[in-house]
Chain A
Amino acid sequence: MNMQTKLRDFHQARWDEPIIYELTTQGERGVLLPKVEDGIRETVKDTKKLPSHMIRSDRADLPEMSQMRVLKHYLRLSQENLGADLNIDIGQGTCTMKYNPKINEVLARNPKVSELHPYQDESTVQGVLEVIYNMDHALRAISGMDAFSLQSGGGSQAIYVIGSIIRAWLEETGQTETKDEIITTIYSHPSNTAVAKLKGFKIITIYPGKDGRPDFEALKNAVSERTAALMITNPEDIGIYNSRIKEFTDLVHSVGGLCSYDQANLNGIMGITRAREAGFDMCFFNLHKTFSAPHGCGGPGSGAVGVTERLKPFLPVPIVEKDSETQRFYLKDDLPYSVGKIKNFYGTVPAILKAYAWIRALGADGVKEAARVAVLNNNYMFRKILSIRGASAPYAEGEHRIEQVRYSWQKLKEETGVTTSDIQNRMFDFGVHYWTSHEPWLVPEPFTIEPTESYSKQELDEFIAITEQIVKEAYENPELVKTAPHKSTIHHVDHAYLDDPEKWAITWRSYKKKYNGYFEKKELKE
């Protein structure tokens, strides 16, 4: 790396690794099983009751590879993957790519948690129940809510729990006919709309005003007796805090609706402000974001749903409680109006453990410091990026931001023709991620940077240097940017093979049915 320019001559690992099926050698074995003991064979030899049509006649067509070859194949693939541990992962805005402390991984590998069966007698699992219980209480402190369910497997599933609770609450209070509308904002996570529809609600979306905050006038017009709930995020994905949030929740409460807080963006405000004081009845957190549990390529994750006392009876079961006399932890199943089960068993236990360990390592001051530094880092990036030619950030001009910012390369596009997608591809040449944003692209040519508190000033400066370099190229040598990536694992992918049912192949066997060699279409015999 050039320490002056802060630019690297990076190249991603490029193994040109075959598909695992191409590595098969008949007869090789990766791992062996214990033999069935003679004593067992003696006893069962005459008692095979399986009718022949239920016995699989062939072997599943799986690769046959010896152990080291399997290891090598997957290790090579892992080298072709850019985990947060390896890059300055601030370009995946809204994903909160923080450091996943390795000590937490060590703790989770402990057989004292990995070898527990969910149906074990409660007396044998007091340790893990204690962790879940304590996590619940820690989250109550952070949010001000009265009870948590840790059963969800992720943020979207947590939204699903909330949608289920809203519906159950309406059924219980006899309001399903009179309250069938949910209000949300255009910048809220699309799962809010999807879940609301799944649960049979009408959904009304409000847009931001000029300052980027959800328009209160629009909300006033949207709220009515038919409002079942408000599902809102604050700060929203564009990084702006809605100071009038209490007016929003008061308004919805005035018509007897519930207020749900999507706290995927908790990282910038924890220890500073809470769901309770802002007037919310429900909230949820992503443990694999704010609480530093790993993202795992897209899961397993964990979602924690918190509610006020009056909604506690609706939580999914079981929850973990402590017997006040014996001080023993136990699983409580009998919540009177529980929505039942959302997920098998109790939640993503390893993630809960890692998240709780993170909280314990930092304590109240550390958690608050994490939020403060995340916001400091973001405002530092904000200042720096805005001074790059072609970049802009809509809304709230002159104001600071919270923990992330949605920017736009619209000006750059007009002046050079280079788009945010082009910049994305060129970013990979420097060993960093960059994501544009979810659709809809209200902000044109968007990109969202969320530094979190995990990256040092040096790293933030490197990311700025990379961005400045790419913009320079956009003005001076746009072709270089438009044909990127040049130093990544592979080159441009042909998307035509992904949308056409005749062309697509989601599995290797499907590929083999349609193509010979390298995408030579087979003649299909009718």
Chain B
Amino acid sequence: MKKLGLIVNPIAGMGGKVGLKGTDGPDTIARAREMGATPHSPSRAECALSHLLEIKDEIRLITFPGNMGEKVAMQCGFSPEVLLRESISEHVTAREDTLLAAKEALKQNVDLLLFAGGDGTARDIYESVGTELTALGIPSGVKIHSAVFGCSPQQAGELAKLYLNNKSTQEKLAEVMDIDETLFRKGIVTARLFGYLNIPFEKRRVQRLKAGSALSEQVSQQAIAAYMARNEMYSDTLYIVGPGTTTRALMIELGLDFTLLGVDVVYNGKLIAKDVSEETLLKLCSRYKKIKLIVTPIGGQGFLFGRGNQQISPRVLRFFSRNDIFILSTPAKLHALEGAPLLMDTGDATIDQILSGYIRIVTGFNEFVMYAISAM
């Protein structure tokens, strides 16, 4: 029998309706309640869960006390197993409770962990379980930057059902983003890659009427990696490789170690520095004559360079002309932007100016896209 874990962050998304961005911290929550905001995510979670009712007898639903999932599950018509009654209160919960619940779900070896919340909740889940189990977010927050959520509560529910039934799904790593909420409230977007969750996604089947089907994400990444490795990696040139699963594919193709979340440096086919800081990058960039930067857009909104990029800061970017920057992206990632440009917000207007406009993106082997990149 498949085990489904459910964690609801009861306060996620409350800020949005009353014009606040996010609900991190008790002060903001209190303010939101004052302004008349009501909890949002429980109803979203219920919507997702209702799609799983038809298989409720074939799965074990494991959740947590009161507002953290028990209420929603019961309301939906499930008879869940409720854990951690001793540790988690039925009424008021905090971040620590999410962390605890997620760790428990991991211990319970759930086949899928559904969580309702926003970027903050996704970060908490990541912190607790990393990529050790498959998780999927039910969107309930404000604007979401992490790519670990379904597009809607219904879709999350449907996808969960398919996954638990072993039908038409695969897994992939998707980004968990860290947004500085304070800055965000001031209209400044920073998006930092925080981690990756392993999420299910649906393999669509469309008749191969006229052409081959779209390459799977993984094969696409391998194609990009093969192209770069074969054609663009020259000797005596320093390559700075940014975080992401596509850049990871390149490191694998080159047979090198790497950090998924950090910046690595390659020279003459060897890894010469791993997970470097801005300081190290600045030193390296000034030391080497020929330098190139290889990056990939991060998160569900196509973020390329942001103030949140701790390592690839404007000072580092100043070393590169447009021709020295390679942007790698699978076609699927670009399509998900639905025509919106890639985003950047380095905080340095000159750099933003130089880089914005149209830029060539490597999307496969000998395949490129001319895409718009715009400063926030």
Q: Check A-B contact in the complex, CB < 8 A.
A: yes
Q: Which residues of A contact B (CB under 8 A)?
A: 94-95, 156, 186, 189-191, 193-194, 197, 201-208, 210, 215, 217-222, 414, 417, 421, 435-442, 444, 495-496
Is B78 interfacial (CB 8 A cutoff)?
A: no
Q: Report yes or no: B370 in contact with A218, Cβ–Cβ below 8 A.
A: yes
- Across the interface, which residues of A come within 8 angstroms of B204, CB to CB? 421, 439, 441
The answer for the CA separation of A97 and B209 in the assembled complex, in Å, is 14
| Interchain Cβ contacts under 8 Å between A and B, 17 examples | A190-B211, A191-B211, A194-B211, A197-B366, A202-B368, A207-B334, A207-B370, A218-B358, A221-B357, A222-B360, A417-B158, A421-B204, A437-B206, A438-B211, A440-B331, A440-B332, A495-B168
- Across the interface, which residues of A come within 8 angstroms of B51, CB to CB? 417
Given A207-B369, A414-B152, also A439-B213 (CB < 8 A): yes
Out of B154, B331, B370, which one reaches A206, CB within 8 Å? B370
The answer for the CA separation of A208 and B339 in the assembled complex, in Å, is 8
- Across the interface, which residues of A come within 8 angstroms of B167, CB to CB? 496
Chain B 336-376 near chain A by CB (<8 Å), digits 1 or 0:
00110000000000000000011110010111111110000
Q: Report yes or no: A221 in contact with B368, Cβ–Cβ below 8 A.
A: no
Q: Report yes or no: A201 in contact with B214, Cβ–Cβ below 8 A.
A: no
- Across the interface, which residues of B come within 8 angstroms of A496, CB to CB? 167
A436 to chain B, nearest CB (A): 6
Q: Report yes or no: A202 in contact with B366, Cβ–Cβ below 8 A.
A: yes
- Across the interface, which residues of B come within 8 angstroms of A197, CB to CB? 365-367
- Across the interface, which residues of A come within 8 angstroms of B205, CB to CB? 495
- B interface residue count range (under 10 / 10 to 19 / 20 to 34 / 35 or more): 35 or more
- Across the interface, which residues of B come within 8 angstroms of A215, CB to CB? 372
Q: Report yes or no: A203 in contact with B335, Cβ–Cβ below 8 A.
A: no
Q: Report yes or no: A435 in contact with B209, Cβ–Cβ below 8 A.
A: yes
Q: Nearest chain-B residue to A155 (Cβ)? A: B210
- Across the interface, which residues of A come within 8 angstroms of B235, CB to CB? none
A56 to chain B, nearest CB (A): 35
Q: Nearest chain-A residue to B332 (Cβ)? A: A440
Given A210-B339, A439-B213, also A204-B360 (CB < 8 A): yes
The answer for the CA separation of A201 and B212 in the assembled complex, in Å, is 18
Out of A191, A219, A441, which one reaches B335, CB within 8 Å? A441
- Across the interface, which residues of A come within 8 angstroms of B207, CB to CB? 435
Q: Nearest chain-A residue to B213 (Cβ)? A: A439
State which residues 186-220 of B face A: CB under 8 Å.
204-207, 209-214
The answer for the CA separation of A421 and B338 in the assembled complex, in Å, is 20
Q: Nearest chain-B residue to A218 (Cβ)? A: B370
Q: Apart from A438-B211, A440-B214, what 8 extra A-B contacts exist at CB < 8 Å?
A: A94-B210, A190-B212, A204-B370, A219-B370, A438-B206, A438-B210, A440-B332, A441-B206
A271 to chain B, nearest CB (A): 26
State which residues 311-331 of B face A: CB under 8 Å.
331
- Across the interface, which residues of B come within 8 angstroms of A436, CB to CB? 206
Q: Report yes or no: A194 in contact with B154, Cβ–Cβ below 8 A.
A: no
Q: Report yes or no: A218 in contact with B360, Cβ–Cβ below 8 A.
A: no
Q: Report yes or no: B371 in contact with A202, Cβ–Cβ below 8 A.
A: no
B203 to chain A, nearest CB (A): 9
Q: Nearest chain-B residue to A203 (Cβ)? A: B367
Q: Which 5 residue pairs are nearest across A and B when measured between Cβ atoms?
A: A190-B211, A221-B358, A439-B214, A222-B370, A218-B370
The answer for the CA separation of A222 and B206 in the assembled complex, in Å, is 30
- Across the interface, which residues of B come within 8 angstroms of A208, CB to CB? 339
Out of A189, A205, A438, which one reaches B363, CB within 8 Å? A205
Q: Nearest chain-A residue to B367 (Cβ)? A: A203
- Across the interface, which residues of B come within 8 angstroms of A206, CB to CB? 369-370
Count chain A CB atoms within 10 A of each CB in B167, B207, B213, B369 and give the residue with the most: B369
The answer for the CA separation of A217 and B357 in the assembled complex, in Å, is 9
Q: Report yes or no: B339 in contact with A207, Cβ–Cβ below 8 A.
A: yes
- Across the interface, which residues of A come within 8 angstroms of B338, CB to CB? 442, 444
A207 to chain B, nearest CB (A): 7
- Across the interface, which residues of A come within 8 angstroms of B359, CB to CB? 221
Chain B 12-45 near chain A by CB (<8 Å), digits 1 or 0:
0000000000000000000000000000000000
A284 to chain B, nearest CB (A): 14
- Across the interface, which residues of A come within 8 angstroms of B332, CB to CB? 440
Q: Nearest chain-B residue to A197 (Cβ)? A: B366
Out of B168, B212, B369, B372, which one reaches A194, CB within 8 Å? B212
Q: Report yes or no: B366 in contact with A205, Cβ–Cβ below 8 A.
A: no
- Across the interface, which residues of A come within 8 angstroms of B209, CB to CB? 95, 435, 438
Given A210-B339, A441-B335, A495-B168, also A205-B211 (CB < 8 A): no
B356 to chain A, nearest CB (A): 12
Given A440-B335, A442-B338, also A190-B367 (CB < 8 A): no
Q: Report yes or no: A204 in contact with B368, Cβ–Cβ below 8 A.
A: yes
- Across the interface, which residues of A come within 8 angstroms of B358, CB to CB? 217-218, 220-222
The answer for the CA separation of A268 and B262 in the assembled complex, in Å, is 53
State which residues 115-146 of B face A: CB under 8 Å.
none
- Across the interface, which residues of B come within 8 angstroms of A441, CB to CB? 204, 206, 335
A217 to chain B, nearest CB (A): 6
The answer for the CA separation of A206 and B360 in the assembled complex, in Å, is 10
Q: Report yes or no: A218 in contact with B371, Cβ–Cβ below 8 A.
A: yes
Given A442-B335, A442-B338, also A221-B370 (CB < 8 A): yes
Q: Report yes or no: A189 in contact with B211, Cβ–Cβ below 8 A.
A: yes
Q: Report yes or no: A204 in contact with B369, Cβ–Cβ below 8 A.
A: yes
The answer for the CA separation of A442 and B367 in the assembled complex, in Å, is 18
Q: Nearest chain-A residue to B205 (Cβ)? A: A495
Q: Nearest chain-A residue to B360 (Cβ)? A: A204
A409 to chain B, nearest CB (A): 13
The answer for the CA separation of A208 and B372 in the assembled complex, in Å, is 11
The answer for the CA separation of A495 and B371 in the assembled complex, in Å, is 35
Count chain A CB atoms within 10 A of each CB in B206, B212, B363 and give the residue with the most: B206
B179 to chain A, nearest CB (A): 25
- Across the interface, which residues of A come within 8 angstroms of B334, CB to CB? 207
Q: Nearest chain-A residue to B363 (Cβ)? A: A205
- Across the interface, which residues of B come within 8 angstroms of A202, CB to CB? 366-368
- Across the interface, which residues of B come within 8 angstroms of A203, CB to CB? 366-368
Q: Report yes or no: A205 in contact with B154, Cβ–Cβ below 8 A.
A: no
Q: Nearest chain-B residue to A202 (Cβ)? A: B366
- Across the interface, which residues of A come within 8 angstroms of B369, CB to CB? 186, 204-207
Q: Report yes or no: B366 in contact with A189, Cβ–Cβ below 8 A.
A: no
Q: Nearest chain-A residue to B231 (Cβ)? A: A202
The answer for the CA separation of A439 and B208 in the assembled complex, in Å, is 9
